[in-house]
Amino acid sequence: MTRYLLQQVLHRGPVLLLITVISFGIMHLAPGKPTDAATQFNPKVSLEARQRMEQLYGLDQPLPRQYAHWMGRLVRFDFGRSFLDDRPVTEKILERLPITLTINLWSLLLILGIAIPLGVLSAVRPNGLFDRLTTVLVFIGYSAPSFWVALLCMAWFGVTLHWLPISGIHSLDYESFGMIHRWLDTGWHLILPVGIAAFTSVAGMSRYMRSSMVDVLRQDYIRTARAKGVSERRVLFHHGLRNGLLPVITILGLSLPDLIGGSVIAETIFSIPGMGRLFYEAVMARDYPVVMALVTIGAVLTMIGNFLADAGYAVADPRIRVESRA
């Protein structure tokens, strides 16, 4: 196992380095400077004042040196400070992380809660009426532009029916609520964003679940169980699901980085201060430290996720050996 781990690190280390170099390159070769937002096109800001600000940010240094500087801090787990407001990048990320995690975890749970039963039931009679109906339904979710669905839902549930809050994650008097009231309030605000996230992405998981179950239900032992007179329900949810779920579990490993990556679109539409907007705003403002930190964290999580998925496969299927993997 240690050898396996070591090999993984050796394989994936260079990838990580390459990711930082590419991201750093793209960001820095882009025209525009982080000082633009504060200084551009303000007639009261002189050229000298601008150059002075660039110097203060270290932007007059050659690129390799800026990169080395950044890497040097990174190995000490220091992501530096944002160019936009001079706050530590870590602080900015930690502030956004909880809400994004909450939304993503709830969406994931909802997706699993919908996709697993749908997948199983569709697999009972592939291409039957139920299967076709759910196929069309989940694909409608996948095929609609999410901001369009969000807008229609906000207009309908928020404005016309007055059932749900339109945007934000808390009521304005949130601070004065008790513990339970706070939870309910947040939950209330999250219904639309979580629901829409699940609706627009349930397709992948449910299709995956369906094909996995279709495969499993063709196996001999299922036929044996049925022949032995085990009830259909037990066949499906006991014998079938247990094996049908295996590939789904490895998929969960791969979606690890998605848990911290928020959606710019959903967060903008629903006024949610999450990771997606942080990233988008950082790119647009050329806030290099924040962009680089997020890309690096994402890459590391992807690596860990891949590793977990691989490890999952290896555990589930001992035929997969270290040697056979490129």
Partner 1 sequence: MKALLGNRLAVIGALTLAALAVVAIAARWVAPHDPLQVNLPDALLAPCRAYPLGTDQLGRDVLSRLIYGARISLLIGFIAVGIAVSIGTVVGALAGFYGGWLDAILMRFVDTMLSIPTIFLLLAIIAVIGPSIELIMVVIGLTSWMGVARLVRAEILSLKEREFVLAAHVLGASSWRVITKHLLPNAMGPVLVSATLGVGGAILSESVLSYLGLGVQPPTPSWGNILNEGRIALGVAWWLTLAPGLCILTTVLAFNLLGEGIRERLSRQ
Partner 2 sequence: MERSLNRSALGAAGRRQHDRQRSWFVSAILVLVPNLFFSPVASADSPPPPTSGDAIVVGSIGDASRLLPILATDSASGDIVGLLFNGLLKYNERLEIVGDLAESWTVSEDGLTFTFHLRPNVRWHDGAAVTARDVEFTYRKLIDPNVRTPYSSSYELVQSLDVLDDHTVRIRYKEPFAPALESWMMGVIPKHLLEGQDLNTTPFLRKPVGHGPYTFVRWKTGELIELKANPDYFEHRPYIDRYLYRIIPDEATLFLELLTQGVDLSSLTPLQYRRQTNSPFMQRAYHKFRYPSFGFTYLGYNLQDERFKDIRVRQAINRAIDKQALIEGVLYGLGAIATGPYPKESWGYDPSIVPTPYDPRAAKALLAEAGWSDHDGDGWLDRNGQRFQFTILTNQGNEVRRQVAELIQQQLKAVGIDVKIRTVEWSTFVHEFIDKRRFEAVLLGWSLSRDPDLYDLFHSSKTKEGEYNFVGYANPDVDRLLLEGRRTFDHEQRVRIYHDVHRHLYEDQPYTFLFVSDALPMLSSRFRNVVPTPIGIGYNFIDWYAPRSEQRYHAVMQQ
Q: Which residues bind partner 1 (CB under 8 A)?
A: 11-12, 14-16, 18-19, 22-23, 26-27, 29-32, 127, 132, 135-136, 139-140, 142-148, 151-152, 155, 203, 207, 211, 257, 261, 264-265, 279-280, 283-284, 291, 295, 298-299, 302-303, 306, 326
Please say whether the beta carbons of 73 and 79 come within 8 A: yes
**Sole binder of partner 2 in the list 8, 23, 39, 212 (CB under 8 A):** 39
Please say whether the beta carbons of 225 and 241 come within 8 A: no
> Residue 298: what are its φ and ψ, rounded to 5°?
-60, -45
**Sole binder of partner 2 in the list 1, 14, 31, 178 (CB under 8 A):** 31
Q: Enumerate residues 61-120 that contact partner 2 by CB under 8 A.
A: 81, 84-87, 92, 95-96
**Which residue, 137 or 164, has its beta carbon nearer to partner 2?**
164
Span from 21-29, 70-78, 223-231, 267-275 in contact with partner 2 (CB under 8 A): 267-275
Kindly compute the dihedral angle of the four CA atoms of residues 106, 108, 112, 113, in this order, to the nearest 10 degrees: 10
Which listed option, partner 1, partner 2, none, makes contact with residue 18 (CB within 5 to 8 Å by class)? Answer: partner 1
Helix, strand, or coil here: 9? helix
> Residue 88: what are its φ and ψ, rounded to 5°?
-60, 135
Q: Could you tell me the smallest distance in angstroms from the CB atom of residue 241 to partner 2? A: 41
Q: Could you tell me the smallest distance in angstroms from the CB atom of residue 157 to partner 2? A: 11
- CA distances to 97, 164, 187, 196, 259 from 183, in Å: 17, 15, 6, 20, 21
The CA-based diameter of the chain, rounded to the nearest angstrom, is: 86
Q: Could you tell me the smallest distance in angstroms from the CB atom of residue 274 to partner 2? A: 8
Which listed option, partner 1, partner 2, none, makes contact with residue 38 (CB within 5 to 8 Å by class)? Answer: partner 2
Q: Could you tell me the smallest distance in angstroms from the CB atom of residue 265 to partner 1? A: 6
* 231, two tokens: 């009830």
Which listed option, partner 2, partner 1, none, makes contact with residue 139 (CB within 5 to 8 Å by class)? Answer: partner 1
Q: Enumerate residues 145-174 that contact partner 2 by CB under 8 A.
A: 151, 154-155, 158-159, 162, 165-170, 172-173
The partner residues of 129 in beta bridges, in order of sequence, read none
Structure-token match 């449910």, residue found: 206
Q: What is the DSSP string of 117-133?
A: HHHHHHHHSTTSHHHHH
Q: Which residues of 202-227 are buried (b: 16+ CB within 10 A; e: fewer)?
A: bbebbbbbbbbbbebbeeeebeebee
Write out the residues near partner 2 by the rule CB under 8 A.
30-33, 36-50, 52-53, 56, 81, 84-87, 92, 95-96, 151, 154-155, 158-159, 162, 165-170, 172-173, 175-176, 268-273, 277-278, 284-286
